[in-house]
Structure 1
């Protein structure tokens, strides 16, 4: 064993693991990083909810048009052959005179749907402040053409040919009614 100077003290114990202070500092850093990431995570969740709602509305419009095109009981062009309606949080495709939906899906309660023209809304606040009617239903004739102003729908203006889909303060997404 080599000789050490007399002022050097050799410890027989080696430090193993981490101290409680080091553990607490590490946990504190992880918590701070998590807290900083929470707003981004919430926006991501809202964005996914909005994309899902837009996809469901898009599918509903497609289903209603398909039902209208193949509805043999439809009277004539210009009369409703199928309807897509929003009732109690459910999107439903119905044939006139029938109360049983041919297609149905649930929408989340935080999803807002509003009729819009081709220009859309500037942002979610403009959508909320707009006098434009909310989406409740849309009718299609046997040729799959939208019938604005059909009975029971607030869809009366032919210029309002899109539905804005909003969740929280996300940028709006749109579905064309065709």
Structure 2
């Protein structure tokens, strides 16, 4: 009597079906992990932009006074965040990933979301001091500046 070794077609199909079921269960977890990584990276860059704006406002190279903005952080509609000096020159900017949105407080104008800082690095408008970073499939990040 000869013993055959190997895998039958039925065993192979069962193995492939089990792998497919596992892959379908893991796929949403992978998508959430990528979304959360993008949220974390975007929040880190946004807070870095705010820190750069504070430094620029305290340096105050254009010697602005009073209620004039010495530095500005602007969340633009084209998915970029820009740090600008008092002359509206861009000092630093970064692109937000297409799946991520950054929004400022409800009181901010949706088309022109800005954080303006005076020469002492204080907010000129108190309505834009809260932020929210979110992406589909991930948990959102929010905070107060």
TM-score by length of 1: 0.70
- Which protein is bigger by CA-based radius of gyration? 1
Match of 2:134? 166
Matched residue SS, 2:81: strand
Structure 1 portions without partners, runs of 5+ = 1-10, 117-130, 149-157
Q: CA deviation at 1:76?
A: 1.6
The structure 1 residue matched to 2:40, chosen from 26, 43, 51, is 51
Q: CA deviation at 1:169?
A: 5.4
Deviations 1:106-135 (A, max 9, x none): 00233223333xxxxxxxxxxxxxx65447
Contact persistence 2:62–2:86 (CA under 8 A):
no
2:119 is the alignment partner of 1:142 = yes
In 2, Cα distance between equivalents of 1:53 and 1:27: 38
Deviations 1:39-95 (A, max 9, x none): 222222221121122111111111111111112213224321111112221111111
Match of 2:84? 94
TM-score by length of 2: 0.84
Give the aligned length.
142
Match of 1:103? 92
Deviations 1:2-42 (A, max 9, x none): xxxxxxxxx1x222222222122111101111111222222
Matched residue SS, 2:134: strand
Structure 2 portions without partners, runs of 5+ = none
Contact persistence 2:35–2:135 (CA under 8 A):
yes
2:10 is the alignment partner of 1:21 = yes
Contact persistence 2:102–2:131 (CA under 8 A):
yes
Matched residue SS, 2:24: helix
Contact persistence 1:89–1:107 (CA under 8 A):
yes
Structure with more of its chain in helix, by fraction = 2
- Superposed CA RMSD in Å reads 2.1
Structure with more of its chain in strand, by fraction = 2
